Amino acid sequence: MEFHASSTSCLDWSGDALIIGLSEDALPLSTTLAELNSRVSGLLQELIDEAEFTGKSGTTAITRVGSGAAMRKLGVVGLGATDAITTESLRRAAAAAARLAKKEKCSSLGLSMPVLNHDAALTAQALAEGARLALHQDNRFKSDDKANGKITLTRIDLLGLPDQEASLKAAQAVCEGVILARELVSAPANIVTPETLAQTAQAIATDYGLELDILEQEQCEALGMGAYLGVARASDLPPKFIHLTYRPAGTPTRKLAIVGKGLTFDSGGLNIKGAGSGIEMMKIDMGGAAATLGAAKAIAQLKPNVEVHFISAAAENMIGGNAMRPGDILTASNGKTIEVNNTDAEGRLTLADALVFAEKLGVDAIVDLATLTGACIIALGDDIAGLFSENDELAGAIATAAEAAGEKFWRLPMEEKYFDGLKSIVADMKNTGPRPGGSITAALFLKQFVNTTPWIHLDVAGPVWTEKENGYNNPGGTGFGVRTLVQWVLAAA
């Protein structure tokens, strides 16, 4: 798929499908569109009238244009109310247009959209992201050639947007990161293992010249990572502690750490997930690590003046004679002891040692992403991630980045009193509290492993996967988190 952005207007473009973005208050047609309408013998107005198209966001209509015209098909896509247009509505509109052009078997698409806030760069990047992500379909595990459906759409022209090569390049880098994260999440646990996650990190390091350190089990033992290794113990697959570092050419303005939960499969351990628990979906339990590596791939190409450490304590939570038992006491690398009252609360155990490791690097801020609790899905549903932080500045920076990225987060309280639910008779804490407020006690548990560094925890259990097509997402892994992370790191530069 090739993107081109140029000054060419919708009046001069020729190709398969010309699709115009229209807001609810864009009718009657502007002078340019009235001119386009007359060049296609009134077909544009006819299409709008016949489809009763009002510009409502998400709606589309398309018609065939008679031979002799500059385009084969002419379509419209709704943008909603003019004053409510955002980068996210542009992404979604571009996605709808790209899907429509593909469905109509067009190989070229001319996209004519309003420029948001006179910012051509932001507009071009949002349009390219939306279209590219909508067209990404993951058929790696389908043997049927037809299912692998050749993408017919090969070229998209962003009209009326000259000099946007840099924006298109940025969109491309971001989308490569999102697509990497999607594919890591969608691949099953017999394909994506701690070892292959480490290999993915190695490929990024090699391709873009990043530093990579993979700590093997013995090295983790030497660092005292008893919580992480307790989780990894029953798997036949060895744990891999991934530490990938991006260093800018100049002196970095900031040093940041991104930590992702990397459970390539979560059986629950001896507190095994029962029938109806969604155990067959627990390949997604490395969604945080996937976003971390996806962000690394994008950031390595965008080259901001920030040092970023990408970390994941990758492991598989399995059962066996060597498994950690419910009731076992583990010692984390900061010396704190944990009574494992539930082996299915394993993500926080792996994150405990990863957070201690991240803080020792002397970074200015730590963000962790984790498919941590089912309780967060109960609270916020599938589309919204939980955000936990005691640092308002960091929470604000992530919220701003998320807004620009079009990813949804909702801040939940770190209610200190709920830590009572984690009190243990025999150890410093238990790993699991009572069911009410389960996402909050999980965040409070993590807090025990960060001393003074500004830190934010993002519970992404819901949005890393979607069963249904939604905007520019297709069923499967969504790559959630990558765009917020990239935006946050760029803003820190």
Distances (CA, A) of 323 to 117, 121, 131, 327: 57, 53, 46, 12
User: From the list Zn ion, ligand BES, Mn ion, none, which binds 438 (C-beta under 5 to 8 Å, kind-based)?
Assistant: ligand BES
User: From the list ligand BES, Zn ion, Mn ion, none, which binds 342 (C-beta under 5 to 8 Å, kind-based)?
Assistant: ligand BES
Active-site annotation holder among 39, 254, 255, 273: 273
Q: Contact letters (x/-) for ligand BES, 243-282, by CB under 6 A?
A: -----------------------x-----------x----
Query: Does 339 engage in binding with Mn ion (CB under 5 A)?
Result: no
Cβ neighbors of 210 (< 8 A, separation 6 or more) are: 204, 244, 245, 246, 247, 296, 300
Query: Does 266 engage in binding with Mn ion (CB under 5 A)?
Result: yes
Give the nearest distance from C-beta 330 to ligand BES in angstroms: 16
Task: Give catalytic status of residue 348 as yes or no.
Answer: yes
Residues near Zn ion (CB under 5 A) are: 263, 266, 285, 347
Give the nearest distance from C-beta 411 to Mn ion in angstroms: 24
If binding means CB under 6 A, how many residues of this protein chain bind ligand BES? 15
Three-class DSSP category at 149: coil
Name the H helices within 338-481: 347-360, 374-380, 392-405, 438-447
Residue 331 CA, chain-centre distance (Å), reads 32
Three-class DSSP category at 368: strand
Q: Contact letters (x/-) for ligand BES, 434-453, by CB under 6 A?
A: ----x---------------
Q: Contact letters (x/-) for ligand BES, 283-322, by CB under 6 A?
A: --x-------------------------------------
Which residue number has the CB closest to Zn ion?
266
Give the nearest distance from C-beta 353 to Mn ion in angstroms: 16
Provide the residue count of the chain: 493
Binders of ligand BES among 324-353, rule CB under 6 A?
Answer: 342, 344-347
Do 85 and 116 touch, CB atoms closer than 8 A?
A: yes
Strand partners, 21: 77
**Contact stretch for ligand BES (CB under 6 A) within 321-329, 370-378, 382-390, 413-421:** 370-378
**Contact stretch for ligand BES (CB under 6 A) within 138-146, 186-194, 302-310, 366-374:** 366-374
Cβ neighbors of 78 (< 8 A, separation 6 or more) are: 21, 22, 23, 24, 53, 54, 55, 56, 57, 58, 59, 60, 93
Among 108, 292, 373, 478, binds ligand BES (CB under 6 A): 373
Backbone angles phi, psi at 393, to 5 degrees: -65, -45
Give the nearest distance from C-beta 328 to Mn ion in angstroms: 16
User: From the list Mn ion, ligand BES, Zn ion, none, which binds 78 (C-beta under 5 to 8 Å, kind-based)?
Assistant: none
> Residue 266 or 359: which CB sits closer to Zn ion?
266
In which residue are the tokens 């945080």 written? 288
Which residue number has the CB closest to Mn ion?
344
CA distance 222 to 219: 5
CA distance 492 to 304: 9
DSSP annotation string for 156-217: EEETT--S-HHHHHHHHHHHHHHHHHHHHHHS-TTTS-HHHHHHHHHHHHHHHT-EEEEE-H
Binders of ligand BES among 458-477, rule CB under 6 A?
Answer: 461
Distances (CA, A) of 348 to 254, 261, 332, 342, 416: 27, 8, 11, 11, 17
User: From the list ligand BES, Mn ion, Zn ion, none, which binds 375 (C-beta under 5 to 8 Å, kind-based)?
Assistant: ligand BES
Give the nearest distance from C-beta 351 to Mn ion in angstroms: 12
Do 240 and 195 touch, CB atoms closer than 8 A?
A: yes
Query: Does 459 engage in binding with Mn ion (CB under 5 A)?
Result: no
CA distance 244 to 296: 8
Please, how many CA atoms are within 13 Å of residue 60, restricted to the half-sphere of its CB? 22
Three-class DSSP category at 19: strand
Query: CA Rg, the chain, in Å?
Result: 24
Among 375, 385, 401, 482, binds ligand BES (CB under 6 A): 375
Q: Contact letters (x/-) for Mn ion, 342-361, by CB under 5 A?
A: --x-x---------------
Neighbouring CB atoms inside 10 A of 143's CB total 7
User: From the list Zn ion, ligand BES, Mn ion, none, which binds 432 (C-beta under 5 to 8 Å, kind-based)?
Assistant: ligand BES
Active-site annotation holder among 348, 408, 447, 483: 348
Give the nearest distance from C-beta 477 to ligand BES in angstroms: 12
Residues forming the site for Mn ion (CB under 5 A): 266, 344, 346
Q: Which residues are catalytic?
A: 273, 348
Residues forming the site for ligand BES (CB under 6 A): 266, 278, 285, 342, 344-347, 371, 373-375, 432, 438, 461
